[in-house]
Amino acid sequence: MDNKVRNLQAIMDCGVVAIVRVGNTKDAVEVCKAVIKGGVKPVEVTMTTPGAIEAIMEFKDVAQDDTIVGAGTVLDPETARTAILAGAEFIVSPTLNLGVIEVCHRYGKIVIPGAFSPTEILAAWEAGADIVKVFPAGVVGPQYIRDIMGPLPQIRLSPVGGVNLENTPHFIRAGAVAVSVGTSLVDQKALSQKKYEIITENAERFIEAVRLARSG
């Protein structure tokens, strides 16, 4: 089993991807450590974070072997390549950019483009997406995932935007292979007070929510 297949399976097994969108490199690394400690091993550092590339490189140096570090808010193939060379194992986009998918295929990395309508979602899948990010998912809710899965059961979907602890089980039961969580996981007040243990506890809660949803 190659790294890409193994990492993709690990993301789906975990069921939660942490979105790290903070103000600087140091906070990004500390938040990554906190969510990993809580059991969320796939971590997405967004390119809107100042020093995001440095954060990916620095965190890769201290990460555990089973940690999967990715880059988010990737808008073009040039940024995708830079992130991959810095160590990103998966690339996430808010929109569908075929050039980003092509670069990820070239380097053998997981690609998760964003889409919303059924037409966009199918286009992303047919272009080679490993998982399709349904964004923004909060405005339509879990029922939308269930409705999409009806005619398109082969597509791996991950809701993003508006995902919280309350609706996570519903998204999972609707057919999502994983949820991606930002502000509901990375508590900004806790971050400002350097109380990383609160972020770790949040991560543990999301992991438990996914586990219970999958167990029926």
| Residues contacting 199, CB < 8 A, separation 6+ | 31, 34, 35, 38, 185, 186, 187, 190, 191
Residue 11 sits at the vertex; the CA angle it makes with 50 and 113, to the nearest 5 degrees, is 60
Tell me which of 44, 58, 89, 109 is the catalytic residue: 44
Residue 18 identity: A
In the β-sheet with 114-115, what is the strand arrangement from edge to edge?
Answer: 114-115, 132-134, 157-159
Task: Judge whether 33 counts as a catalytic residue.
Answer: no
C-beta neighbour count of 153 within 10 angstroms:
8
* DSSP string over 42-93: EEEEETTSTTHHHHHHHHHHH--TT-EEEEES--SHHHHHHHHHHT-SEEE-
Residue 131 phi, psi (nearest 5):
-140, 145
Tell me which of 33, 41, 109, 133 is the catalytic residue: 133
Task: Judge whether 54 counts as a catalytic residue.
Answer: no
Query: What does the alpha-carbon distance between residue 15 and residue 7 come to, in Å, rounded to a whole number?
Result: 12
SS (H, E, C) 136-167: CCCCCCHHHHHHHHCCCCCCCEEEECCCCCCC
Residues annotated as catalytic are 44, 133
